[in-house]
Structure 1
Amino acid sequence: MADIRKYLVSNGAIILVLFVAFVLRYWNLNYQSLWLDEVHTMIESDPDTTWEYLYAYLKTIDVHPPLHYLMQKVVFIVFGHTAYVARLFSVVAGTLGVAAIYFLGKEILNKKLGIIVAVITAVNYYALYYSQEARNYIFLFLFATLSFLYLLRLIKRPTRKNSLLYAFLTLCLLYTHYYSLFLVATQAILALVFIAIEKKEERLKLFRLFLLSGLIIGIGYSFWLPVLLGKSGINSFWISSIPDSFMSTYLFTYFGNSNLLKPIIVLLLLIFFFNVAAQSETKHNIKKNPLILSFIILVSWIFLSYFIPYLRSLITVPMLFPRYTVGVLPAILLILAYGIYLFKSDLVKVIVLGVFVLLSLTDIIIVKEYYSKITKTQFDKMMGFVNDENPDNYPIINELTSWQTGFYFKSMNITADTLMGKKEALVDSILSKTSEKYDLDGFWIIRAHGDQDLSVEKRQKLESNFTRFREAHFYDAHAELFVSKHLLGSDFISISYDGFHENEGSIMEDENLIAIWGGRINSKPIDFKPGDYKVIVSAKGTSADGEYAHLKISINDSMIGEYYLTGDFDEKVFKYKAGLDSMIVVSVELDNDYASDSGEDRNVYLRNIVFKRIEKEGL
């Protein structure tokens, strides 16, 4: 017990930092939907698929090495195949990354530097972001840190244990992301430099140990080398050309492009490099001078790991992208931490570190609203809406992301068919009933990850034959249910832009909308049967002075509902009970019209109002 108490007291600071790091990474873990690349992880590491399938897919299609998928598959087998489990695995890796960089800072100089860099890493935007994403990038950060940790230990203390651990961790790095090839190439150059400057009596020993590590790494990676060589022939990629300013751009990207942090980042970099410039050492004293040693390793780590892929991007195909370079981030964080450490006063160190943490958390939590603002494609909400609103099991058109949404088909037990192909061509086939497959009473069109809408001409043609019966808009995702007008009959009534009196509102025929600039518009009289109806309003609004347009829906001058609109075409559902057969008039009123001095104006854009008799089964 006394030993445990002693350990906790002596390591209380790093334990507290790791606890905070874990909380920041775990907080609101599943608030965002899985986005496109994360869904790839869920599908490729599916525990129900065979290991042979995973290997074949990674070998022929995916652009990443296998380690993360293999580890994720094992985690899924043990703990379950869910988004929470996938992301929690990254949370653990991200927290371990903070611990790893603590040990690297401690190895470079001392425990105090380790604490400083751990604190900075705990609140770093990039390290936090990828610790909440079910992808391999935080593992790249972790293994890059550990690999360089044992590279440094091998340089400072040439032992077989350090040689073997360096080889093992570097293999993990290589099997995590292909960008790690440039990190390892940098390490090879550093190894040659330190062998060359080593004292003669120690040079051979260091050479042999690096040779041992190199042989293990070479043999261990040879199993994947044919796959790598096959992918090296790629002559086109989705990444655009790399600008000359990419290094400075990436530097601030790692910190979320925070304007709050930019001045302090630049200040700490200057302090580090000015102090390095003031040093004067011979080559044999380098390992005994932490500042010079860290300069050689960290600057080489950054510069060469950028420069080598930059050259390749210029010569062959662009391959640099900020998240691919997350393996460089530990070196940048260490330089910033060293910059703080170089303040002579401990009080100043604490103040500067405290300001850095405060500005980082302010930017993350308040400016970026990281934990409360949706920023990722809402596949889960879109597919949940389709699943809940598709009792007739109508087929689904999904041009861009049909493979990815297969994960939700499986997890939500969705049995509807997916119509494969270009959405415009599929709509033509449905309208023309080119085969029995396309003779449909209804179908869905879903779009996500930037998928474009139908053309105006195609949508007008579609809506002359089908009614847009249900619709929901989510972040970067959209779902629409179209039902044939001949099916709806008297139990389903849809009022669109042409169902209102002329000269009331502004018809936007190209967008199938009617705009309300202020006041009230009235529909043409509608013949209604008695019964209970669900009333579905599809509209969006604009805001002024922080308040959105407020809408009142009335039938025969009796209000049935009211609500504030949003900037998206959301649906609002009300209930209405019709008495005897009668004619009704639907009124839609914008009752808080306002135009601000800054040019903002509250307006309403109404897509349609659908009445559905609740007694009818199915729809």
Structure 2
Amino acid sequence: MTSETNNLRFSLIAGGGLFLLAFVLRYIGLFRLDVWFDEIAVLLQTDLSLAEIWRFNQNENFPPLFPWIVKLWSYIASSDSSYRLLAALIGALLPPISYFLGREIQDRKLGVLLGICCAISLPLLYYSQVVRMYGLFVVASTISYLFFLRAIKTEKPSYWFITALANLAAFYAFLFGLFIIITEFLILAWIYRSNLKKILPPLIAHIPTFILMSFWFAVLIDRSNVAQSYLASQNLYGDFIRMWMFLGSGSVFYNNLGIALVINLPLIIGFILSFRTLKKEKTTVATITLLVLPIFFVSMVSVIKVPVLDGRYMLFLTPLYLVLGLRGWILLKNSTWRKIGIIAVFASLSISSGYYYSHFLSANDDFRHHGVFKHTEDDDGNCYSRMADTLQERLQPDEIIIHFGGPFLRSFTFFTSIYFHHRTFPEYLFTADDVSYCVGRQYIQPGEQISTLNSLDQIPHGIWVVTLNDPKIIYKSDEQDTVPLSKLDKWLETGNLPEELSRYNYHFEEIIRDGSLSALYFTRTKPVLNDH
């Protein structure tokens, strides 16, 4: 048996084993929680045609590759579980691809270690368990890194074309793919600085990519002006530290940066150690540059335009950070320290993923809600679907559902409910404020947002009010007739549903609680003069 055959056999076994390991880890807890707002933003698009998805995503500010894939998948299976399964399958592709990346950078040993690290990495685990484009983005990005490094070694035209195709897929998955392309061409300009004509083959290979990207440049510019996000922060240094922790542990452990720093130390030290080979190896220089320059670009955008230095946006850099963190330890001459470093890296990643599985709901809250909302202790993460079923059973012909709460929480309940109900019931988002794009403005259909009951065609006999806020804000209790407005959030001043219910003579009848979610039922006692 030739060495080439042996290499192929080993690669097939390693790649297959890494895929199975990754899929098993992603399958654990995959169907445990309800789909939530971010996933529903994708799933609502399955009702559109491929052409309609293209047009809609110009308002969504994201290219349509992932919604297209989900749409095509819906012809095979269209349940929530099947969509999560698709996300897990895409995410499980990353470890075998990372194996080839590690082998390209050094050897099979590094490839296997990197593949295992990507299989157990907490942020890569989480984003392989939700129906979002980030998993696809990191897979396409890693393919780009792999063939880019191969291309600068061999200068084979076929590798440039594969790199260009991967870059197109990365950009059409998430707009930050642009930073990968800019970085790669800056690396080429440095490598071929004495003979710039060598840039022509990769440039020619990217011409179709550039043409197809041009359709989304206006959207990219528009996206850079979007500042309506609860992720936005004025603390760039804090965002940078959290982003760096995210690339490693994927969590700051209940905002405890001290614990996060200790857990991330093995990767941080390994990353620093990898700089020792900068002057010796072109591949190492390229790999470090592929990691560092996009962080620099995004940091500049955060300073000049809008804060976007968020961990999930930088997920595509995780394989590069992991491979450099490993390689720094592997290159140590002292075998004892080398082993300690590698074991410490795996211990760091294992602790993080262990925290994820053992604190599943709260860890998901950290990824999803970023401190805006946390489920109550008695919540199991399925209150949305159960409440939707309950309201479907209880709702009568002369009744409506109103979703009320803070600027983000009302969107969490409204879009989840209309998804589970397939928009078959009269449901409304109650607010006088403009709904931000980051919380679903583009998904609201005409007539679904109201700021007064007078906006309804007919005043209903009964109203179900669904909220994630304190229900005492909405109904009068025996102990406290009303809650002073000064103690409430500002959003009540421009959309005061309790005042509307009182003005239209609605009387509180009952409350249904399920975990963090409350549904309050009101009926009318008598009409008012300005009734419809």
TM-score normalised by the shorter chain: which range applies? 0.7 to 0.9
Give the CA deviation at 1:406. 5.5
Q: Are 2:150 and 1:153 aligned?
A: yes
Equivalent position SS for 1:37: helix
* Aligned residue identity for 1:270: I
Gap change, CA 1:235 and 1:427, over 3 Å in 2: closer
Give the match for residue 445 of structure 2. Answer: none
1:215-364 alignment, distance < 5 Å: 215-229=207-221, 231=222, 234=225, 236-238=227-229, 239-254=232-247, 255=249, 256-257=251-252, 262-263=261-262, 265-274=264-273, 276-277=275-276, 281=280, 286-287=281-282, 293-294=283-284, 296-344=285-333, 352-364=341-353
In structure 2, distance between residues paired with 1:122 and 1:36: 26
Give the match for residue 456 of structure 1. Answer: 483
Q: Deviations over 1:376-406 (max 9, x none)?
A: 6753233223223335562011246579846
8 Å CA contact retained: 1:470, 1:482 = no
Equivalent position SS for 2:51: helix
Give the CA deviation at 1:316. 2.5
8 Å CA contact retained: 2:388, 2:420 = no
1:479-518 alignment, distance < 5 Å: 479-484=519-524
Gap change, CA 1:340 and 1:396, over 3 Å in 2: same
In structure 2, distance between residues paired with 1:228 and 1:251: 25
Give the CA deviation at 1:313. 2.5
In structure 1, distance between residues paired with 2:334 and 2:471: 55
Give the match for residue 469 of structure 1. Answer: 510
8 Å CA contact retained: 1:268, 1:340 = no
In structure 2, distance between residues paired with 1:337 and 1:73: 38
8 Å CA contact retained: 1:394, 1:416 = no
Gap change, CA 1:461 and 1:150, over 3 Å in 2: closer
Gap change, CA 1:392 and 1:58, over 3 Å in 2: same
Gap change, CA 1:428 and 1:478, over 3 Å in 2: same
Give the CA deviation at 1:280. 5.1
Gap change, CA 1:215 and 1:365, over 3 Å in 2: same
Q: Deviations over 1:479-521 (max 9, x none)?
A: 222234689xxxxxxxxxxxxxxxxxxxxxxxxxxxxxxxxxx
Give the CA deviation at 1:158. 0.5
Range with greater deviation from structure 2 (409-418 or 50-59): 409-418
Q: Which consecutive unaligned segments of at least 5 residues does structure 1 have? A: 288-292, 488-619
- Higher RCO, Cα 8 Å, sep 6+: 2
* Aligned residue identity for 2:522: F
Q: Are 2:16 and 1:15 aligned?
A: yes
Residue in structure 1 matching 2:67, options 66, 69, 72 = 69
The structure with the largest alpha-carbon Rg is: 1
8 Å CA contact retained: 2:240, 2:309 = no
Give the match for residue 41 of structure 1. Answer: 42
TM-score normalised by L of structure 2: 0.75
Give the CA deviation at 1:64. 0.8
TM-score normalised by L of structure 1: 0.66
8 Å CA contact retained: 2:398, 2:462 = no
Give the CA deviation at 1:358. 4.3
In structure 2, distance between residues paired with 1:465 and 1:84: 40
Give the match for residue 399 of structure 2. Answer: 394
8 Å CA contact retained: 1:237, 1:317 = no
In structure 1, distance between residues paired with 2:456 and 2:321: 61
1:99-138 alignment, distance < 5 Å: 99-138=96-135
* Aligned residue identity for 1:32: L
Identity %: 19
1:133-144 alignment, distance < 5 Å: 133-144=130-141
Gap change, CA 1:69 and 1:273, over 3 Å in 2: same
Give the CA deviation at 1:193. 1.0
Give the match for residue 85 of structure 1. Answer: 82
* Aligned residue identity for 1:324: Y
Q: Deviations over 1:441-479 (max 9, x none)?
A: 32101125999953736759958851332312434x332
In structure 1, distance between residues paired with 2:203 and 2:457: 68
RMSD (Å), alpha carbons: 3.8
Q: Are 2:358 and 1:369 aligned?
A: yes
In structure 2, distance between residues paired with 1:339 and 1:427: 57
In structure 1, distance between residues paired with 2:216 and 2:63: 8
Give the match for residue 51 of structure 1. Answer: 50
8 Å CA contact retained: 2:266, 2:348 = no
Give the CA deviation at 1:5. 11
Range with greater deviation from structure 2 (404-413 or 265-274): 404-413
Give the match for residue 179 of structure 2. Answer: 182
Q: Are 2:203 and 1:211 aligned?
A: yes
Q: Deviations over 1:59-100 (max 9, x none)?
A: 2x20211111111111112222x2222222211111111122
Give the CA deviation at 1:127. 0.4
8 Å CA contact retained: 1:235, 1:316 = no
* Aligned residue identity for 2:245: F
* Aligned residue identity for 1:322: G
* Aligned residue identity for 1:156: K
8 Å CA contact retained: 1:394, 1:444 = yes
Higher relative strand content: 1
Q: Which consecutive unaligned segments of at least 5 residues does structure 2 have? A: 369-380, 434-448, 475-481, 485-496, 528-532
8 Å CA contact retained: 2:150, 2:159 = yes
In structure 2, distance between residues paired with 1:260 and 1:76: 42
Q: Are 2:441 and 1:443 aligned?
A: no
Gap change, CA 1:334 and 1:9, over 3 Å in 2: closer
In structure 2, distance between residues paired with 1:149 and 1:18: 17
Equivalent position SS for 1:175: helix
8 Å CA contact retained: 2:271, 2:328 = yes
In structure 2, distance between residues paired with 1:264 and 1:49: 44
8 Å CA contact retained: 2:66, 2:136 = yes
Equivalent position SS for 1:437: coil
Range with greater deviation from structure 2 (263-272 or 163-172): 263-272
